[in-house]
Amino acid sequence: MTRTLITGGLVITATDETHADVLIEHGRVVAMATPGTQAWTADRVIDASQQYVIPGGVDAHTHMELPFGGTFASDSFETGTRAAAWGGTTTIIDFAVQPKGSSLAAGLDAWHAKADGQCAVDYGFHMIVSDVNESTLREMGRLVEQGVSSVKLFMAYPGVFYSDDGQILRAMQRAGETGGLIMMHAENGIAIDVLVEQALARGETDPRHHGEVRKVLLEAEATHRAIQLARVAGAPLYVVHVSAEEAVAELAAARDKGLPVFGETCPQYLFLSTDNLAEPGFEGAKYVCSTPLRPREHQAALWRGLRTNDLQVVSTDHCPFCFSGQKELGRGDFSKIPNGLPGVENRMDLLHQAVVDGHIGRRRWIEIACATPARMFGLYPQKGTIAPGSDADIVIYDPHAQQTISAATHHMNVDYSAYEGRTVTGQVRTVLSRGEVVVEDRKYTGRAGHGCFTPRSTCQYLN
C-alpha cells in the first residue's frame, strides 16, 4: 500500500481555503487535517509549505488527433495528455466524432482505440454527432449508459459537422429523454459560408478575414436560436467556446428567466483578440479558430460573465495545428486554415494570472477550471475537488513563481505558442493523478497508459 502525505499547503477548492495536510491511500484522498495535528505516517511526504494544493484541472473540451480541414490536430492522446499533466490538468474530456454515414458506436470505438493505453492522465469522451437520424437518435441512449453523457452539435460547418434546426430539435428532445447534455457550437454556418465566398471573391484572403466573416451577430443569433430550440425541447443546453459579448447577453437573458442554459469560454477569448489575427506575414493563421477571436472590447463581458456565473466553465478547445505544414494550408485562402488553437498546457496558469490581475478570486479559479466542469459533465466529486473519497488528482502550485510561456519550453506537440513571450505569475510544481506522482518538482515522472477512461454520470449542475 502506498500512502502519500501532502503537508503544510493552502488547500483551495471551489468552496474553501484552509491550511491542511492531505492523506492519500490507494489513489484517493482519505483524510485531511489541520497541519501537525495528526501522527500520520506515509511512504512519501510532499512538503507543500508556501504552495497551493489544488484539485487537478478538468479540461472539458479538447480535440486530440481531430481530423479537420484535410489534416489532423497535431497532439496525440499521448503528447496532449502529457502536456495537460505539465499544465496541472489531470482530466480531459475529448470529442469522439461520428464519421458521416457511420454509427455513433463506430466513432466512439475509434476514439477509444486512439486513447487506450496512451494517456498520462484520465480522460472521458463527449460525442460529436455529425448526422442526426433515426438510428443515431436511438444510439444516444446507449451512449449515456457507456459513460458518454454529452453530445456536441454544430450550427456551423455546413457539409461537415452541421445539423439543421430540425435535427437539432430532435436531438434535444432525445437528450431530454436520455439525460444527455447537448453542447452547441453556436454560429450560423450557412450565413457565414456566404460571407466567406463573398470575401474570397473580393480578394480578401488573409487570416484576419476569418474573424470578419464570422460575425458577432451570427454567434449571437445562433446562441439565441439554440436557446429557443432547447426551450421548446425542454432540454438543458451548454454553449461551447462563447466569444462575443452579445452571445453572453443571450445566455444571461435565458438564465434570468431561470432556464438551464450554460456557457463555456476559453483562454484565447479572454487573453487574445483580433489584433492577433491581424498580425502580418500570415502570422495571424496561428490564431484562427471558431468561434473566432473578437475585438479586445469583448473580453470585459467574458470576465464579467465568469464573475456573475452567466459563464460557468473555462475549457481550452485545445485543437493544435502546426504553423508549418498545417496552418500554411490556408496561405492565399483563409477558409483553408485548419481551425483551432493549442492551450491544454496553459489554461491553469492563464487563469491563475487572472486571479493575480483581479478578474476572479482564487476559489472561483478552481470553480471554473476544476469543480464546475466536473459537475457539469458528471465527474464530481471523483474529480474537481479535494475531499475524502475523491481521486487524488492534486496539483502543488507555486503562486509566486514567474514563468514565460513559449513554444521553446512547452510540451504540446505544436511548433508555436499562442501566448509566446507572455510572462505569468504562478507555476505547477508537482502533479498527482490518482495518487501517482506524474510531475515531480517540474520533472515528468508519468507514463503513457496511466490515464484511464473515466465513464461519466449525467450532468450534476442541474440540481
Name the residues that contact ligand URP, by CB under 6 A. Answer: 63, 185, 241, 289-290, 317, 319, 339-340
Query: Closer CB to Zn ion, residue 11 or residue 379?
Result: 11
Select from ligand URP, Zn ion, none the partner in contact with residue 340, using the beta carbon and a kind-dependent cut-off of 5 to 8 Å. Answer: ligand URP
For 133-150, b where at least 16 C-beta lie within 10 A, e where not — what string? eeebbebbeebbebebbb
How far is Cα 148 from Cα 452, in angstroms, rounded to an integer? 14
Selection from 151, 279, 277, 264 nearest residue 214 by Cα: 277
Q: Rounded CA gap, 298 and 246, in Å?
A: 9
CA-CA-CA-CA torsion for 205, 207, 210, 216, nearest 10 degrees? -130
Determine the Cα–Cα distance for residues 46 and 396; give it in Å rounded to an integer: 9
Which residue's C-beta sits nearest to ligand URP?
Answer: 339
Q: Which is nearer to ligand URP, 292 or 305 (CB)?
A: 292
Distance from C-alpha of 387 to C-alpha of 398, rounded to nearest angstrom:
21
Q: Segment 279-318, which members bind Zn ion (CB under 5 A)?
A: 317
Scanning the structure block, which residue is given the C-alpha cell 469583448? 298
From Zn ion, ligand URP, none, interface partner of 289 (C-beta below 5 to 8 A by class): ligand URP
- Pattern 133-172, Zn ion, x by CB under 5 A: ----------------------------------------
Q: Which is closer to ligand URP, CB of 317 or CB of 349?
A: 317
Cβ 238 vs Cβ 264: under 8 Å: yes
Residue 206 binds which of ligand URP, Zn ion, none (CB < 5-8 A, kind-dependent): none
Query: Could you count the other beta carbons within 10 Å of the beta carbon of residue 409?
Result: 11
Site string for Zn ion, 4-33 (x = CB under 5 A): ------x-----------------------
What span, in angstroms and rounded, lies between the C-alpha atoms of 188 and 220? Answer: 9
327 belongs to the binding site for Zn ion (CB under 5 A): no
For ligand URP, the closer CB: 89 or 427: 89
For residue 311, give the DSSP letter: S
Measured distance between the N- and C-terminal CA atoms of the chain, rounded to whole angstroms: 37
Smallest distance, Zn ion to C-beta of residue 319, A:
6
Q: Which does 75 bind (CB under 5 to 8 A by kind): Zn ion, ligand URP, none?
A: none
Nearer Cβ to Zn ion (139/264): 264
Binding-site member from 82, 126, 174, 185 for Zn ion (CB under 5 A): 185
78's contact among Zn ion, ligand URP, none, with CB below 5 to 8 A by partner kind, is none
Residue 185 or residue 456: which is nearer to Zn ion going by CB?
185
- Which residues lie near Zn ion (CB under 5 A)? 10, 185, 317
